[in-house]
């Protein structure tokens, strides 16, 4: 098997590699060639893991390592995915019924899907509404580690193994360029962008592009931190100090709504209430509190990143303006807003 790597201007010639035939149960990405930070974007059907359907350009991996671990800790502590699933169970069956009525096939696109917990849940709902309809899933996620976790989850799900997946280990900007360069005419019935607009240079342009890929009666679902949430208070107050790493400019659902209105898009707006217990943040020496503060401020170590004076200011804000007391616990409002945008 030959794979072509598109090289940089510093090394203009293309390089070809001959790889040995993969053993059953393995994909080309299992080869040591792909063990580093460069990854070959490829499409696979989960029921036929050794079948390479398409290989195109190489890309650089997205966020990895400690951030992923902090994010998983946050999800477990906040119950964010639980409230999302409850919302999806209530709203999406009706949406999917309207979207899929009269169609012989359905195309699903996950943008910034992480390791796929929410995409898997949505696909299961879609399958339950249309058990005999062909459903294709396309995933755009720059993190190699998270895509591999998503693939492992699919391999354990009998229902999802019936769905052909196209794995795109690229950023949104790279995916857009790819679609335009290849004049790809693929269109989608449902796509989602969950808690990922913070990491985009121009999220309004991205929304406009992905919205343009919707089929008739399609929906683009965006889930984002609510405008009046404690996240908005914390990050808008200390934007200069917090927007220094993966998030360079904080945006809330109010900003997203303003862009949707400016683009002239029609949408429904839904609230997803949620709170998180941050009591341990105020307990000196608490490991749980330290991990929460690391994630909430997007730092490897809240303790090391800021001066004692700055840490005190952040903790004061969290106590006085970002949380409420209930039964002796401090609750942080991490509510979400969902926009269901029409084609």
DSSP labels, 145-214: HHHHHHHHHHHT-TTGGGS-EEEE-S-HHHHHHHHHHHT----EEEEEEES-GGG-S-HHHHHHHHHTTE
Q: How many residues does the chain have?
A: 343
Domain, as residue range, for 267: 66-227+246-275+333-342
Residue 232 lies in a domain: no
Residue 33 lies in a domain: no
Q: What is the CATH number of the domain that holds 217?
A: 3.40.50.150
End-to-end Cα distance, the chain: 41
Cβ–Cβ < 8 Å for 116, 152: no
Residue 218 lies in a domain: yes
Residue 286 lies in a domain: no
Residue 79 lies in a domain: yes
**Calpha distance 206→213 (Å, rounded):** 11
73-128: per-residue pLDDT in tens?
888 889 999 999 999 999 999 999 999 999 999 999 999 999 999 999 999 999 99
Q: What is the pTM of this model?
A: 0.80
270-316: per-residue pLDDT in tens?
999 999 999 999 999 999 999 999 999 999 999 999 999 999 999 99
321-336: per-residue pLDDT in tens?
999 999 999 999 999 9
């Amino acid at each position: 098997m030959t794979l072509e790597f598109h090289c940089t201007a510093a090394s203009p010639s293309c390089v070809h590699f001959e790889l040995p035939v993969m053993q059953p149960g393995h994909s080309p990405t299992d080869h040591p060639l792909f063990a580093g930070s460069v990854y070959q974007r490829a499409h696979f059907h989960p029921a036929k893991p050794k079948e390479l359907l398409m290989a195109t350009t190489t890309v650089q991996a997205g966020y990895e390592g400690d951030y992923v671990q902090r994010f998983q800790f946050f999800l477990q502590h906040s119950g964010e995915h639980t409230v999302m699933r409850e919302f999806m169970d209530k709203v999406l069956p009706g949406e999917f019924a309207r979207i899929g009525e009269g169609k012989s096939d359905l195309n699903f696109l996950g943008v910034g899907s992480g390791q796929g917990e929410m995409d898997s849940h949505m696909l299961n709902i879609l399958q339950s509404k249309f058990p005999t309809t062909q459903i294709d899933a396309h995933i755009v996620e720059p993190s190699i580690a998270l895509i591999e976790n998503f693939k492992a989850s699919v391999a354990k799900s009998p229902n999802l193994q019936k769905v052909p997946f196209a794995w795109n280990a690229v950023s949104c900007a790279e995916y857009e360029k790819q679609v335009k360069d290849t004049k790809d005419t693929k269109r989608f019935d449902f796509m989602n962008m969950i808690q990922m607009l913070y990491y985009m240079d121009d999220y309004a342009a991205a929304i406009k592009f992905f919205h343009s890929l919707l089929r008739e009666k399609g929906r683009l679902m965006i889930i984002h931190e609510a405008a009046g949430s404690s996240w908005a208070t914390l990050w808008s107050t200390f934007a200069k100090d917090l927007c220094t790493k993966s998030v360079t400019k904080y945006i809330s659902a109010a900003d997203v709504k303003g862009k949707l209105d400016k683009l002239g898009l029609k949408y429904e707006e839904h609230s997803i209430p949620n709170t998180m217990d941050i009591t341990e943040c105020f307990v000196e020496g608490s490991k749980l509190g330290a991990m929460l503060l690391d994630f909430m401020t997007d730092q490897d170590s809240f303790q090391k990143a800021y001066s004692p004076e700055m840490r005190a200011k952040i903790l004061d804000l969290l106590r006085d303006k970002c949380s409420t007391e209930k039964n002796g616990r401090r609750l942080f409002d991490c509510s979400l807003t969902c926009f269901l945008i029409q084609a």
